[in-house]
Amino acid sequence: MPTKRVSMHKIKEVIRCNSADLTVRQIAAAAKLSVGAVSKYIKAIEKAGLSWPLPADLDDEALSRRLFGGESQSPSPKRHPQPDFAAVHQELKRRGVTLLLLWEEYRAEHGDAAYAYSQYCALYREFRKNLKRSMRQTHRAGEKLFVDYAGQTVPVRDQLTGEIRQAQVFVAVLGASNYTYAEATWSQQLPDWLFSHVRALEFLGGVPAIVVPDNLKSGVDRACRYEPEINRSYADLARHYGMAVIPARPYKPQDKAKVEVGVQIVERWILAALRRHTFFSLAEVNQAIRQLLTQLNAKPFKKLPGSRLSAFEMLDRPMLRPLPAHRYEYGIWKKARVNIDYHVEFEGHYYSVPNGLVGKEIELRVTANAVECLFNGQRVAVHARSRKRGAHTTVAEHMPKSHKAHMSWTPGKLLNWAISIGSATRDIVQYQLTHKPHPEMGYRTCLGLLSLARQYGDERLEAACRRAMAINSPYRKSVLSILQAGLDQAPLPETAHTAEPVAPAHDNVRGAAYYH
């Protein structure tokens, strides 16, 4: 409780500022008092006829008598109904609730016997000093969720090999109610980190406005006191749930004191209780943690009314936003450049994007089931993810007009056309359809053969294809070269001569025997 001297010091400041013709709000700001308290004091000052400077013989006791008729500004608590400051402390966590509102409710209940507002505030400040440091922070209901990993791990034994693997323990604590969540994961890597958040939000049944992590590398790419750089996938999760990520400042544990204390409590009340247990799977660990977590949240507070669970039901749960309809889906980000065939590659598979983006750098967001393509932050394509290496996923709308025309052709249609010309043409068309990395590439070659039929005629094309097959070169370029050179009208190599050619006699001709 503040002393009489301190209280009168503020009243003297009000007298001085009032004599300087400052407004009530200006006086309140200067004296660190509420506007209502300043108005009350000004009325008493004017009624007592006091101005600045005060008479030299007017001490604090005499000043108090002049202003308040002998009533001390620091009356004994025994003369006034004592406010329930533990309940006040909890009520202040509700959004929009202020000390002035709570004092007015207290004054309405007790009338003139109630403390003055300034004394009410001073007594509440004294109450707060008796709480733990982390408890003295004022956290609004549903506002912040603090997250971190415990320093202690849980050993899990492999039943077959006996190998022991250490499981990490993720802890999340709500600011207003201290309602706590904990779970074990195999690592602190990005996927485990993100899905621990997902499960924590589902445990809470809602979404807070802000999540406050440590500067763990999985969540924060670059730690900075003023502009931390959030991991892209972590930012995606925050965007999906409509919450903000505000990391604690580097080397400032007081920024996340809630979870620091929460980690200690989880280590003492949960992990310590499990220290003699032998676990053979992560599921067993989490089942044991969940049972003890229920007990922890139901455990009564020592200095405040209720428990974490009751405080959560009263404060945080009503203020949490509802969970989105769909669960967050983890995705990785990758930059890719659009190739000349308007496809981008991911893990050996090729996905189409609008052909106008050829040569541009785009971003891929890849989930377990989809590949999303973004350019300048806008989604330009989305495909079902394929694990088939060397294959293509192509959307017709992404093609140039000339390529769309090719899509009207099918393998059956091309083969029927080739058969109508001849068996050799059919063989080359079939080879192109089965030996290209992408079917469309084979279509283009076949359409090129069709154009040769229009230029040279079906008979010459068939003869050229027969010659190309004979020399084991079933390609359009070979067929075109044969047609351009007129070789399609010459006898095939194997039928041009019936006898072996006779080599001329010469000293430099070694003969077949030389090579045996």
Query: pLDDT tens, position by position, for the chain (516 residues)?
Result: 333 443 677 788 788 788 877 788 878 877 778 888 888 888 888 888 888 888 777 777 788 888 877 544 444 444 678 888 888 877 777 766 788 888 888 888 888 888 888 888 888 888 877 765 444 456 788 888 988 898 899 999 988 888 999 999 999 999 888 899 999 999 988 889 999 999 999 999 999 988 888 766 655 544 444 345 677 888 888 888 988 888 876 555 555 566 678 788 888 888 888 888 999 999 999 999 999 999 999 998 877 778 889 989 988 899 899 999 989 888 888 899 988 778 899 988 989 999 888 888 999 988 888 899 999 878 899 999 888 888 888 888 887 766 555 555 677 788 888 889 999 998 988 888 887 655 556 776 787 888 888 889 999 999 999 999 988 888 888 999 999 988 888 887 654 444 444 445 555 555 545 444
User: How far apart, in Å, are the Cα atoms of 387 and each of 25, 268, 354, 383, 418?
Assistant: 69, 46, 22, 12, 33
Other Cβ atoms less than 10 A from the Cβ of 322: the count is 9
* Distances in whole angstroms, Cα of residue 322 to Cα of each of 178, 314, 325: 20, 16, 9
Distance of CA 29 to the CA centre of its chain: 41
**Can you give the pLDDT at residue 441?**
62
Tell me the pTM. 0.51
Output DSSP code: residue 189. S
Closest C-alpha among 417, 425, 495 to residue 463: 425
- Report how far residue 221's alpha carbon sits from residue 231's, in angstroms, rounded to the nearest whole number: 5
Cβ(148)–Cβ(214) under 8 Å? yes
Label residue 494 exposed, middle or buried (CB < 10 Å: 0-12, 13-18, 19+): exposed
Burial 66-84 (b: 16+ CB within 10 A, else e): bbeeeebbbeeeeebeebe
Cβ atoms of residues 137 and 261 within 8 Å: no
pLDDT of residue 136: 44
Pairing, β 332-337 against β 244-245: unpaired
- Structural domains present in the chain: 4-132 (no CATH), 144-319 (3.30.420.10), 332-400 (no CATH), 409-495 (no CATH)
From CA 322, how far away is CA 105, in angstroms rounded? 32
pLDDT of residue 198: 94
